[in-house]
Amino acid sequence: MSITLRAPAKLNLALDITGRRSDGYHTLRTVMQTIDWYDTVTVDLAEDEAIHLSCDGGIPADEHNIAYRAAALFRERTGMRRGVHITVEKHIPSQAGMAGGSADGAAVLRALNELADTPLPQEELLALGAKLGADVPFCLMGGTMLATGIGTDLAALPPLPACCFVVVKPEGGVSTPEAYRLLDSAPTLLHPDVTALCTAIEQGDLNGVIACMGNSFEQPLALPHTASVVTLLKQHGAAAALLTGSGSAVFGLFRDASTAEAALAALQQRYPNARLCHPV
C-alpha cells in the first residue's frame, strides 16, 4: 500500500523577529498561510529495513534531506522495523522561504502515521515535526496560523478573506543561516504589527490584512532582485507585496483574480516560474 500526499508551500503574511535566545534560536511572531503550490510525496513500506529516497530537482536524496530524516525519526520513535520507499516530486522552489523541505518532511510523517499499525496522536506527531525544523509543525497543520516562539507554537486563525497571490521566485537566493546573520547585524528592523493582522483576519477585514503585512528580513537582506519583483507586483495591481520567510521568493496579494491574472501574464515575460496561487 502506498500513500501519495500533496505537500503545500507556505507564505508569511507578516513575520516579526522579536528576539534571540541564549541557544542562538530566534524568537518570532508570524502569520503563515498554506497555498496551492505543491510538492508530491509518495510513501510506501519496503520489504527490507532501509530508507530509500528518490528526489528530483537536484535535492540531496540522503540524510541531508528532511524527508529522509522524517522517516528515520518516525521509525526511531515508533520502533517500526519495515523499510520505507519515499518519492518526492519537487515543484516548490528551493531557498525560497516557502517551506518546501519542511512540507515534504511533514508529508512523510503524515503518510507513515497512516501506514503505521499504531499511529501517533497529533500532539506527538507535532513534537516529532518540531525536532525536524521550526516550520514542520505548521506544515502538518496547514491553513492560516499564528506561530510564536521559534515558530513551533501554533494558534489557528480563521481563513483569509477572499484574495489570491502571485508568487515569484527570482534567480539567486540566500541561505537561512546567512539571512539570520545579516538580520543580526542590521541596525534596525521592521516590526510588522502581527497582533493587528490577526485581528483583521478574525474580523474578515482584507484592508486591515493588507495594512499590517510586512517582514523583518526585507531591510537587512535588501536583495536587488527581490526589490525589483516587489516593485513590479505593485505596479501591476498588488495591494501589498513582500518577501516570504527569509526569501528569496516574493508574493503579491491581489483583491481579485482578474487583476492577478493580468499581473501574472506581465511578470511571466521576465519570470517564467511566476505562479498564481490561492490560500488553502
What amino acid positions are annotated as catalytic residues? 10, 135
Helices 100-115/122-132 angle, 10° precision: 140
d(CA 3, CA 163): 31
Return the bridge partners of 275, or none.
167
Provide the grid cell at 243: 518577501
- On whether the CB atoms of residues 253 and 279 are closer than 8 A, the answer is no
How far is it, in rounded angstroms, from Cα 165 to Cα 275?
A: 8
Which residues, 6+ apart, have CB-to-CB distance to 85 below 8 Å? Answer: 2, 42, 43, 44, 45, 46, 52, 54
In this structure, what DSSP letter does residue 246 have? T
Coil, helix or strand for 96? coil
Q: Where are the alpha helices (DSSP H) in the chain?
A: 66-78, 100-115, 122-132, 136-141, 176-185, 194-202, 206-212, 218-221, 224-235, 257-268
